[in-house]
Amino acid sequence: METWINNAGFGNYSSVASQDLSKIEAMLKLNVEALTILSSLYVRDCKEVDGTQLINISSRGGYIMVPNAVTYCAAKFNVNAFTEGLAHELKAVQAKLQAKVFAPAATQTEFGMIANNVSEYDYGKSFGNYHTSAQAADFLLRLYDSNQTIGAIDGETFEFSLRNSVFEYAGNSAHNQKIIND
């Protein structure tokens, strides 16, 4: 079955006051703009194709604000909200494409080096708990095999779980603008 995964992304640890704006601009372009455009094109092409999935790789920082990573988290909140909203939109029209979001917590990759602008980064020293990339890949496969929208990591236990929504959705409200189906 064909699946499109938007995985490319990077982070930045800094206060808003002192963040490097050219790095922030590149981060928003990659983490938000490219992901939104590529998702939209895939939805357009595959909405009615049996068995297709769109999986956006976001972050636990897309559900909780992390100190010193506010701009990165805000970008990932966008990814989580966009993907959850898209999943609702697709379900409402019984589309064949499923939209899903994976929200990993700290995972040992090159992310730490890039986010901190350093050439070496020790996850063991920096985090009380973290996953290996093999563990993250296993979580992603569990999300892929499920009919649920979100694969998330619990901040306390570091356990993986599947769920259908986190953000509130106004889909059943009588006060929304009328939907014109295309």
Ligand X SMILES: NC(=O)c1ccc[n+]([C@@H]2O[C@H](COP(=O)([O-])OP(=O)(O)OC[C@H]3O[C@@H](n4cnc5c(N)ncnc54)[C@H](OP(=O)(O)O)[C@@H]3O)[C@@H](O)[C@H]2O)c1
Per CB under 6 A, residues contacting ligand X are 7-11, 30, 57, 59, 104, 106-107, 109-111, 114
Nearer to ligand X, 87 or 105 (CB): 105
Shortest distance in whole angstroms from residue 10 CB to ligand X:
5
Torsions phi, psi of 10, nearest 5? -145, 170
What residues have CB less than 8 Å from 182, skipping those under 6 apart? Answer: none
Shortest distance in whole angstroms from residue 11 CB to ligand X:
6
CB atoms within 10 A of CB 47: 15
Secondary element (H or E) of residue 162: strand 160-163
Nearer to ligand X, 10 or 169 (CB): 10
Nearer to ligand X, 76 or 149 (CB): 76
Nearer to ligand X, 4 or 111 (CB): 111
Shortest distance in whole angstroms from residue 182 CB to ligand X:
30
Report the residue number whose CB is nearest to ligand X: 9
What residues have CB less than 8 Å from 21, skipping those under 6 apart? Answer: none
Calculate the CA dihedral of residues 155, 158, 159, 162 and round it to 10 degrees: 40
Shortest distance in whole angstroms from residue 23 CB to ligand X:
11
Shortest distance in whole angstroms from residue 96 CB to ligand X:
26
- Length, in residues, of the chain: 182
- Are the C-beta atoms of 70 and 14 separated by less than 8 Å? no
Output the 3-class SS for 4-38.
EEECCCCCCCCCCCCCCHHHHHHHHHHHHHHHHHH
Nearer to ligand X, 95 or 105 (CB): 105
Nearer to ligand X, 97 or 153 (CB): 153
Shortest distance in whole angstroms from residue 58 CB to ligand X:
7
